[in-house]
Chains A and B, each alone.
Chain A
Amino acid sequence: MSIPHDSDGARARAFGRRGLLARLLALGSLPWLAVRAAGAAHQRPTRAFAAEEVATALRELFGRDDIPLSPKVRIGVARLAENGAVVPVKVDVDLPHVDEITLLATRNPVPLVGRFTFGPRTRPFVAARIKLAETSEVLAIARRGDELLMARAAVEVTVGGCG
């Protein structure tokens, strides 16, 4: 849990203009069908992944950090996680469709865990396993167009898992 914080920043810079361009070119020139099929519109939220604060990550992702809680977003996660290295999480949203679901862990050194962007016929549901560095909250944010809805769930971690 004690990486110097500047390494994230350094990586973010390396991912910056030139790195990103090189990456896009590399992707475009290789026959990795699925990744290419996803199109050039997709952009990794590099700055959000570099953020060390939840509010900063939210502003990078959504342009705001005051996202309203909604009972329409449901997080399925155990209240007590013995092993923070592997914490199963599932999120579903009580809406016909959402554009994406984003997961954050409030006390992780890098709070942004992942962003899942859905196609038009993908149900507003995702399940994954995440790492929790320590006892914290898991945030799930569903985006449908400009509408943002959030749920939060507290998880007590016995053994931290950012190893």
Chain B
Amino acid sequence: MATSSIKVRTQLRQGQLTVRALIRHPMEVGRRLESGERIAPRFITRVVCTLNEEVVLDADWGGGIAKDPYLSFVVDAAQAGDRLGISWVDNQDGRDELSVAI
């Protein structure tokens, strides 16, 4: 299987979990031309982050999020061993997900 499009780093300090995620994705808004043809829009529309299957962040994105998106957020009351899930869907039905123990 190809390497995941999602890279995540976590830091747990006194129950406070900081998540930093990088997603490899073109985030092509569909305005650019290549040899006179407009490049089709392809961007992530939704990212869902879970901690032990509880949704902690649910994001709706447009093409205004930069290429290879970075996302960081902080969750309280986390414990070592909790399972962090990150999944994304784009407007072309592309998708990926990652699950890691923190």
Contact = CB atoms under 8 A, between A and B. Distances in A.
Given A105-B64, A121-B56, A33 B87 contact: yes
B94 to A, nearest CB: 12
A95 interface: no
Interface residues of B, number: 46
A112 B69 CA distance: 16
Contact of A33 (B66, B72, B97): B97
Interface in A101-119: 103, 105, 108-119
A114 B77 contact: no
> Which of A7, A44, A90, A131 counts the most B-chain CB atoms under 10 A from its CB?
A131
B64 A108 contact: yes
B87 A35 contact: yes
Nearest to A116: B59
Interface string A26-42: 11000011110111001
B57 A114 contact: no
Given A32-B87, A35-B48, A38-B48, A122 B59 contact: no
A25 interface: no
Nearest to B38: A3
B101 interface: no
Contacts of B67: 85-86
Interface of A: 1-3, 7, 11, 26-27, 32-35, 37-39, 42, 44-45, 49, 85-88, 90, 103, 105, 108-119, 121-123, 125-131, 161-163
